[in-house]
Amino acid sequence: MVFLVFDSTGRPDSGVLTGGFSFLGFYSECLHAAPSPIELQFQPPFVSRYCMATLNVTKVTPKGSAYLPDVIWNKTMEAHIARIGLCVPSLCSPHDISELIAMTLKDVVAGTEVISTSCSDSGSTYGTDRKAIMMTGAVLFFIALAGVGTLYHFGRDTCGTPADAAAGSSDPLMAPVKSRQSAIDRLLMSFSVLENGSKILSTAKTVDGITSLHGLRLWSMLWIIFGHSYSFAQQWVTYRNTDAMKAVPADIISQGIANGTLSVDTFFFISGLLVVYVTFSKMDQDGGRINVPMFYFHRYWRMTPLMLVVIGLCANVLPYVSGGPRWSESISTYDVTCQKNWWINALYLQNFVNTPQMCLNHTWYSAVDMQFYIVSPVILLVLYKNRTVGLLLITFLGLASMAATAIIIAVNNYPAMPYISNIVPLESLNGYSANVYIKPYCRMGPYLVGMVTGYVIHQSNGRLQFTRRATVLGWVGAISGMLVVLYAMWNANTGVSLPPVAIAALYGACSRTLWAVGLSWIVLACLSGHGGVVNSILSWKGLVPFSRLTYSAYIIHPVVMAIFYGSREGVFDYTPSLITYFALGNIVVTYLLSFVMSLVFESPLIGIERVLFFRKK
């Protein structure tokens, strides 16, 4: 066992001069190390545990002239972070490991700082974790309901339902029975995997005839997954050639991925469009009124249960799913933070309250979208009653949002966008994220553009006409504007130079709204028959099932990545093709799990809402 413990401890390997200053060892070998019968004759048995220490080497300098020359040493230290995996007896605590490393290195290098030490043991405490067991039981309960609903569906198709028998009677006293049986039938059918699966996989184009929205949803979601696959792989995967990562932002494809935050603005645009188009269609039928309580309840019921299920799984079950040298690091933003702050997500305040410890930090989007939805009835009522006043209100809100964004960026000298280079200090980037990126008053532009687009479609009844000249100008303007937005910050993203503060403020204030204006033209052109090949791509019926899974995919995709990346035990050689391979795998697994989550949780809960609040047509 001693040899296994020694063998599974990390040690320097090739690639140190290319930034490979992490020596992880062999995680699985350490946890499964067991003494041989011969060893038991000479030493008492002990249980091993794997510990990984993370060191800050930014200020480290070698002691004495007998060590590496400064040029080589500085090259080696460009990674800034060193990781050492140690296999030690289980009696050793993380504090013991930190002290051991500090004492060992103090005579070799000066300024070594142990940032953190985490340890993993071979045994699992799942069996004694009541919260984990309860959460697992809740999931199994929903799976059982899906099984019951599916069996009922089989029996219903074969033998009919009690409601069918009651329907054959003309006795007025049977009316309550028929109504009650019909409700029970629909309630059970809402859990049927066959029923829900057929709805999800149907290629019938809904979205009220605006078929291009299906493609916009899917391609934006793929853009997000690709971007997160790249950024999360940088955070949670260990490489021995970190130098190679510096060249990645310099090509046109990576620049497009780098600006993937615009994909979220696409979702804001779609949300604003649909809230006007769908609500106005209902208001036409209801005499210009909005049932505000149901308006809010429907949105909350649509978005919250699935998110809470994922939060519950992350907070209670995720720690037991897998393991690896960097496992605790990769899931730290999901398990511990969700245990403490899940209730903030339930109130959709995570972008304002305790944001550094946000549970499921990508759900800032859900919070902002809900906050837009909360204020939208005021805009909707004004716009419906008086077009001029409504459009003036939207214009005022849009200009105010852009002004607020520009002022915040200029006063604090924030970046124009989240640059992927290290050209700005991390503190500045974090400040931008906390005070601009996740705040609704800085992200309202695309939502408002979507509202205007939805209004135009509603007023024209979907029958838009453009002249040939207007069509050409529209496409040239949309494509040119979106390309400018996408690549204007090339120099900053590649680490060449920063734009002046005024330019950064102007770009940060206007870029996302201009992006939404381009999207608006694409939707209107596709709807009016001037979309050409773009409409063929966005409106292809094969995209419809994936479009329906967008929300589920958005909620779970970072968790999928955390599990995959965090369970990697080895050190990788970075190449763009490796990240592409990771991204493709993340996409496939995300959509497979999204389909399952939608079958078991999302679709049944939508069905329950329809049973409780909407009469069967």
Within a domain: residue 198?
no
pLDDT tens digit string along 366-407? 999 999 999 999 999 999 999 999 999 999 999 999 999 999
Q: Is 269 buried (19+), middle (13-18) or exposed (0-12) by CB count in 10 A?
A: buried
Please tell me the distance from the alpha carbon of residue 246 to that of residue 267, in angstroms, as a whole number: 30
What 3-state class would DSSP assign to 358?
coil
Here the tokens at position 8 are 């599974």
Within a domain: residue 147?
yes
- 325 and 397 housed in the same domain: yes
Region of poorest pLDDT, from 163-167, 256-260, 489-493? 163-167
Residue where a domain stops, chosen among 78, 94, 123: 123
Average pLDDT over residues 326-348: 92
Task: Output the DSSP codes for 120-151.
Answer: EESS--GGG-HHHHHHHHHHHHHHHHHHHHHH
Q: Is the dihedral of CA 264, 268, 274, 279 positive or negative?
A: positive
Cα atoms in the 13 Å half-sphere on the side-chain side of 486: 17
Within a domain: residue 596?
yes
Q: How confident is the model at residue 313 (pLDDT cuts 50, 70, 90)?
A: very high
- Write a three-state SS string for 85-113: EEEEECCCCHHHHHHHHHHHHCCCEECCE
157: left (phi over 0), alpha (psi -120 to 50) or beta: alpha
- 186 and 305 housed in the same domain: no
Total domains in the fold of the chain: 3
For residue 174, the model assigns a pLDDT of: 42
β-sheet bridge partners, residue 119: 51
Residue 447 amino acid letter: Y
Q: Which residue has the tokens 């008086």?
A: 386
Within a domain: residue 234?
yes
- 102 and 142 housed in the same domain: no
For residue 581, the model assigns a pLDDT of: 93
- 106 and 159 housed in the same domain: no
- 273 and 422 housed in the same domain: yes
Please tell me the distance from the alpha carbon of residue 107 to that of residue 124, in angstroms, as a whole number: 38
- 146 and 240 housed in the same domain: no
Q: Which residue has the tokens 């500085």?
A: 74
Q: Are 205 and 541 spatial neighbours (Cβ–Cβ below 8 Å)?
A: yes
β-sheet bridge partners, residue 116: 54
For residue 177, the model assigns a pLDDT of: 46
* Cα of 2 vs its chain's centroid, Å: 43
Residues in the chain: 617
Residue 254 amino acid letter: S
Here the tokens at position 526 are 């596709």
Please tell me the distance from the alpha carbon of residue 494 to that of residue 499, in angstroms, as a whole number: 12
Here the tokens at position 559 are 């968790």
For residue 566, the model assigns a pLDDT of: 92
Task: Give the DSSP letter of residue 26.
Answer: -
Q: Are 213 and 207 spatial neighbours (Cβ–Cβ below 8 Å)?
A: yes
For residue 163, the model assigns a pLDDT of: 52
Task: Give the DSSP letter of residue 494.
Answer: T
For residue 175, the model assigns a pLDDT of: 46
Within a domain: residue 466?
yes
Residue where a domain stops, chosen among 164, 191, 218: 191
- 32 and 139 housed in the same domain: no
Please tell me the distance from the alpha carbon of residue 477 to that of residue 520, in angstroms, as a whole number: 12
Q: Is the pLDDT of residue 173 over 50?
A: no
- 372 and 407 housed in the same domain: yes
For residue 617, the model assigns a pLDDT of: 45
**In which element (H, E) is residue 113 found?**
strand 113-121
For residue 293, the model assigns a pLDDT of: 94
Contacts for 38-42: CB closer than 8 Å, 24+ residues apart: 39/1, 39/2
* Cα of 425 vs its chain's centroid, Å: 24
pLDDT tens digit string along 413-470? 999 999 887 788 889 999 999 999 999 999 999 999 999 999 999 999 878 889 999 9
Average pLDDT over residues 513-527: 97
| Count of CB atoms situated within 10 Å of the CB of 308 | 14
Q: Are 528 and 466 spatial neighbours (Cβ–Cβ below 8 Å)?
A: yes
Q: Which residue in 123, 118, 121 sits closest to 84, CA to CA? A: 118
Mean pLDDT across the chain: 87
**In which element (H, E) is residue 117 found?**
strand 113-121
Q: Is the pLDDT of residue 38 over 80?
A: no
For residue 407, the model assigns a pLDDT of: 98
Q: Are 370 and 551 spatial neighbours (Cβ–Cβ below 8 Å)?
A: no
Q: Is the pLDDT of residue 65 over 50?
A: no
Residue 448 amino acid letter: L
Within a domain: residue 593?
yes
Here the tokens at position 488 are 């204007």
Residue where a domain stops, chosen among 107, 123, 139: 123
- 39 and 143 housed in the same domain: no
Residue numbers of the domain that contains 367: 207-613
- 53 and 81 housed in the same domain: yes
Percent of the chain scoring above 70 in pLDDT: 88
Q: Which residue has the tokens 């967008």?
A: 550
- 119 and 133 housed in the same domain: no
For residue 99, the model assigns a pLDDT of: 86
| Count of CB atoms situated within 10 Å of the CB of 565 | 24
Within a domain: residue 202?
no
Q: Which residue in 277, 462, 461, 465 sits closest to 383, CA to CA? A: 277
Region of poorest pLDDT, from 166-170, 179-183, 511-515? 166-170
Q: Where are the alpha helices (DSSP H) in 259-291?
A: 262-285
Within a domain: residue 201?
no
- 335 and 294 housed in the same domain: yes
pLDDT tens digit string along 555-575? 999 999 999 999 999 889 888
Residues 6+ apart with CB under 8 A from 160: none
pLDDT tens digit string along 141-170? 999 999 999 999 888 877 665 555 555 555
- Between the alpha carbon of residue 109 and those of residues 66, 85, 358, the distances in Å are 12, 19, 37
